[in-house]
Amino acid sequence: MKLADLRAPVISALRWTVASRMIMQLITWSSTIVAVRLLTPTDYGIVTVATVFSNYLQLLGEAGCGSALVQRQIRDRPTLKAVFSALLAISILLAGVVFSVAPLVGTAFREPRAVSVMRVVALAFVSLPFLTLSDSVLRMDLRFKELGIANIVGAAASAVSVVGFALAGAGPYALVGSYLLGLLAQVVAMQWYARAPLTVTLSLGPIRKLLRYSTLLVIDRSIAYWYREADYAIVARFSGAGILGAFSVAKNIVQMPLDRIGGIANGIFLPTYSLIQQHGTVVSEAFLKSLRMAAYVFFPLFWGLGVIAEPLVAVAFGDKWRSVILPMEILAIPMPLRALKEMSQPLARAIGRPDASLTVNAIAAVVVIPLQVLGMIRFGMAGVAGGWAVGYPIVYSFVIWLFARMLSVRLRDAWLVLARPVLCALVMIGTVIPTVFGLLRHEQPLLQLIAGIGVGVAAYIASVRVIDNRAFRELTGLTLSFFRR
């Protein structure tokens, strides 16, 4: 198998996945802008406290079985029924755990208002076995069109309901209620397309062949979750719900594209790499090329978002959210590296090396979390954001070293593919800053925002054309292929 053989199926998958994610992003951004204006930082802080623990248990509820099915390409009905039955039992158990420990979580974070919210969130566990099985079936068959439509249905249901609940004065329950309705709509749409065997059985023997892979994956995801979410716990412990809500909104805005990228990477690259896992040279070539192309997207996307944070917040959210600007600007700095790491995760899992991903996440936890604690003590929530900015470049250096060694790629080559994208992004920043905060410093935020985006896009395209004409042609060709049926 050659890398060129994957071009058509991967572009088709990208077309539907990216299109659906863009539509979801537009829906989510629109509803977020409205909801943020109707709700308060305290509302967001309460929901953040209520979901820190329950989100982790939802991750455990999937038990790594979905990825294991895709990696092993298992489609036989006895195994699918066994997986559904096991996940159904686990999800009911975890829902009971969340309901029971809610008072303890409220006490730990000194936020009693989160208790009832957390108990409502427990209802989300019912959806886990249905989502996991349907999602795995669609991904194994590369049916990304149907998967994208189901995700859009869920996003639309969530967006409409959050605005309705917020207008009705539901406060934090607006965020939780819309999340549950979105899950319900997504489950119905996904199962409509997948027709997965949702049958309970007591014969769980077929699951044994998935245990080693899924166990490593659960450990990996557990470490990854807590190092990614530790900043919420740190801010909550040292401050009140209002500050936590502001930090939560800042992080969610900057991280929103990262969440979509993670979904695209796991959705497309896990099944794709799983198909070519036995062809070492092809895997190495695919890794370097995907790293290079992704860098040309991630650096301008996240650094550009950081540069225009001030006019963006003023236009979208209003003056009551000005405290989120500085954390947004700082959090945007390491985001391209975090996105590139997310692109690498499916590769490790596809070639049967979830232990590599686990090692990376363990290193990240050891490096980043202490820096966040020190930053919070010294500088408040901006210091927590600074913990990411200082610590993650160290983590990414280890990521590059590990994957270069694992794939027999020269370390120098893995670093060089990032040099020109970084240079082009710096040119863009050097153009936007004097335009927005120099020439237009006294203008309305809306004009600053529009000018910043327009000048940034033009400067970046021009710099790529001049600095790396080959990449410019490749990106142009990929874009045209994406829109060509």
CB of 339 closer than 8 Å to CB of 258: yes
Cα distances from 356 to residues 68, 277, 340, 377, 443, in angstroms, run 16, 15, 15, 33, 50
Question: What pLDDT, on a 0 to 100 scale, did the predictor assign at position 481?
Answer: 62
User: How far apart (Å, rounded) are the C-alpha atoms in residues 406 and 429?
Assistant: 35
pLDDT of residue 427: 95
Size (the chain), residues: 485
Give the model confidence (pLDDT) of 177-211 as tens digits.
Answer: 999 999 999 989 988 988 887 877 777 777 777 77
List, in sequence order, the alpha helices (H) in 109-171. 114-121, 128-140, 144-167
* HSE toward the beta carbon, residue 278, CA cutoff 13 A: 3
| End-to-end CA gap in the chain | 24
Residues contacting residue 375 through CB under 8 Å, at least 6 positions apart: 382, 383, 384, 385, 386, 387
Q: What is the pLDDT of residue 116?
A: 92
Instruction: Give the residue extent of every domain in the chain.
Output: 1-203, 224-485
Alpha-carbon dihedral 27, 29, 33, 39, rounded to 10 degrees = 80
Cβ atoms within 10 Å, residue 252:
17
- 348: tokens are 């490790």
pLDDT of residue 279: 47
- Give the C-alpha separation, 8 to 24, whole Å: 24
Angle of the 381-407 helix axis to the 280-307 helix axis, nearest 10: 160
Nearest in space to 138 (alpha carbons), one of 310, 332, 268? 268
The pLDDT, as a whole number, for residue 3 is 46
Nearest to 274 by CA among 353, 356, 360, 190: 353
pTM: 0.74
Residue appearing with tokens 């982790």: 56
Contact criterion met (CB below 8 Å) for 69 and 197: no
Q: What is the pLDDT of residue 32?
A: 82
* CA nearest to 393, candidates 328, 333, 346: 333
Ranges of the chain with pLDDT below 70: 1-18, 61-64, 71, 259-283, 346-354, 478-485
Task: Please tell me the distance from the alpha carbon of residue 362 to that of residue 227, in angstroms, as a whole number.
Answer: 8
The span from the CA of 485 to the CA of 477, in Å, is: 14
Q: How far from 175 is each of 164, 178, 281, CA to CA, in Å?
A: 10, 5, 47
Q: Got the DSSP string for 103-125?
A: HHHHHHTT-TTHHHHHHHHGGGG
Give exposure, 341-373, as e/b (b: 16+ Cβ within 10 Å): bbbbbbbbbbbebbebbbbbbebbbebbbebbb
Q: How far is CA 346 from the centre of its chain?
A: 13
Is residue 271 within 8 A of residue 142, CB to CB? The reply is yes
Tokens 């716990």: give the residue: 233
> Which residue in 38, 29, 41 sits closest to 174, CA to CA?
38
- Angle, alpha carbons 95-98-100 (nearest 5°): 110
DSSP code of residue 283: H
What integer pLDDT is reported at residue 217 of this predicted model? Answer: 73
Token pair 């019912």 in the structure block, residue:
126
DSSP notation for 433-461: HHIIIIITTTS-HHHHHHHHHHHHHHHHH
